[in-house]
Chain A
């Protein structure tokens, strides 16, 4: 029985008069692949922001690996082992592909200023470690030929994969993927599904993902949470969700 890696309860976020997220409760056990879906504006990305510490919750509690992290903010959350990709792709566009990943790799921070200035052995060791790790991640994500290209010059699909590689460089325990399949064609999507399964196995990851493509989400997630207008309306396995009347109404309502 795997323990809960991550849980949040009564998670709420208000922006002035607007309540983006209300009383959301999510629990994820170690090793699971969980999906978070809902019509546009349901509050999914807001949840991600709250979970990663980019934003502060107005109410509710968040627990990660047994400790309360409700008030832990961005870079500390990341160092605890929570990494994410972004809906709008936030790569460092003027840096090349290798550096985007290396900037996050642990090896890069193993040496001090003096070592950097003078290229001391500690610097060389740290750099070698970071470069090796970055290269293996890039290879895993199919980007190994493109090391020297600028991140901003990559085609869209490659940029999404680079974001995943970069997030993996953090050696996270929980990986949050925000619309990883957006803008991809069906064959790219099935490649992505395979890649996500592969990295989950390889790194023993727990994954929470958001996406609009029902087929993609149903095809890969073991459990799914559904949000609508900031509230949780359903939770369960893909089959349960597919048949849930509230979910159908939420999506149909959007189409009407």
Chain B
């Protein structure tokens, strides 16, 4: 049970990061940014390419520094990538529509989401890609008598098409004696080293995201409550016209909101992909929708609400199917876990549409 709880917290942290983006954008321009999922999907792909091709893990530094650095680079690339895409999208697609009314803006958001999804399909194919496992490089000299795990080397290879790629070869299985022949083969490769593959466990990855959330929450609080930009954001979300009259540069503030919202979502998104080991152009859709539901549960427009909603939904998604399975004997409970988010959504929309921490609005005659 505790394990499911911890799992839920980790998943909840992922949802919280993504939900923050939805809530901040909604708070400031009353738009449900359907394309938010696609922003972090883009970030996740950048993270994927960093992990696969950057070669940071190869740096000759004491372990586990290279791996840590590589992940940091991946997460940074993901966040910055998502944030940049968000700012560009806002400028190109959302700003012109801001005056056209809510329905037009919403339809535009839906269209942007579809366009980005399908552009991703064009660029990177519709298939799911596995996130590359990090490589822990070991120098030949550091090897003992027996191989501690499956050890691999990397050889350059020319394909029939003429491309230069790298191919992994298993040089020693776990437990094999490390003999001179093996050492010679290893020294014959460009790296002159072996590596073992580490598969990040879902729990560990989620744990890191949770840690990131705990670290980020006060930073976010500070940004929103104590900086000028943050105060401006709150002002614009309260009353855009009044803010404009006070001289607040609306366009710039909206841009920054999009940047910040997508930046944190990028962390959540890449965390999601690392935890579950894969990415596809459709990765943005379902987690995005669930994170959105989390934002609604917490009170859309409220930043603490997004965090609360995210954690709540993550924990619920983890624990409820487990309870159904263990207490009520329903073996297929986990197949229906997606329905939990929707059930929450309908319940909240019916009974408390403003969410747990949101504010109600009045209509004047």
A and B touch in the complex (CB under 8 A): yes
Query: Which positions in A face B, CB cutoff 8 Å?
Result: 45, 49, 54-55
Closest chain B residue, CB of each to CB of A45: B365
Within the assembled complex, what's the spacing in Å between the Cα atoms of A49 and B365? Answer: 8
- Chain A residues lying within 8 Å of B365, measured Cβ to Cβ, are 45, 49, 54-55
**4 CB-based A-B contacts, threshold 8 Å:** A45-B365, A49-B365, A54-B365, A55-B365
B contact residues around A54 at 8 Å (CB) = 365
Interface residues of B in 313-351 (CB under 8 A from A): none
A84 to B24, CA, bound (A): 41
Whole-angstrom CA separation of A55 from B364 in the bound complex: 10
How far is A45 from B365 in the complex, measured between Cα atoms in Å? 9
How close is B361's CB to chain A, nearest CB, in angstroms? 14
In the bound complex, CA of A82 to CA of B77 (Å): 65
- State A178–B230 Cα separation when bound (angstroms): 43
How many chain B residues touch A (CB < 8 A): the figure is: 1
A62 to B192, CA, bound (A): 93
Taking the nearest CB of chain B, how far is it from the CB of A75, in angstroms? 14
A6 to chain B, nearest CB (A): 20
A21 vs chain B, min Cβ distance (A)? 14
Q: Please measure, in the bound complex, the distance between the C-alpha atom of A55 and the C-alpha atom of B365, giving whole angstroms.
A: 9
Nearest CB of chain B from residue A138's CB, rounded to whole Å: 26
Question: What is the CA–CA distance of A54 and B364 in the complex, to the nearest angstrom?
Answer: 10
Distance between Cα atoms of A49 and B363 in the complex (Å): 13
Residues of B contacting A45 with CB < 8 Å? Answer: 365
The 4 closest A-B pairs by CB, nearest first: A54-B365, A49-B365, A55-B365, A45-B365
A49 partner residues in chain B, CB cutoff 8 A: 365
Q: Which residue on chain B has the smallest CB distance to residue A74?
A: B365
Closest to A15 in B: B362
Q: How far is the CB of A57 from chain B (nearest CB, A)?
A: 14
- Report the bound CA distance from A55 to B362 in whole Å: 12
Q: State the Cβ distance, A208 to closest chain B Cβ, in Å.
A: 17
A10 to B36, CA, bound (A): 53
A55 to B363: give the CA distance in the assembly, Å.
11
Give, as a whole number of angstroms, the nearest-CB distance from A16 to chain B: 10
A46 and chain B: residue at smallest CB distance: B365
CA distance A54 to B365 in the complex (A): 8
What chain B residues lie within 8 Å of A55 (beta carbons)?
365
Return the chain B residue nearest A16 by Cβ: B362
Nearest residue (CB) in B for A48 is B365
Residue of A nearest to B362 (CB): A15
A133 to B256, CA, bound (A): 58
B359 vs chain A, min Cβ distance (A): 13
Cα(A214)–Cα(B365), bound, Å: 25
Name the residue on B nearest A55 (C-beta): B365
CA distance A54 to B362 in the complex (A): 13
Chain B residue nearest in CB terms to A87:
B365
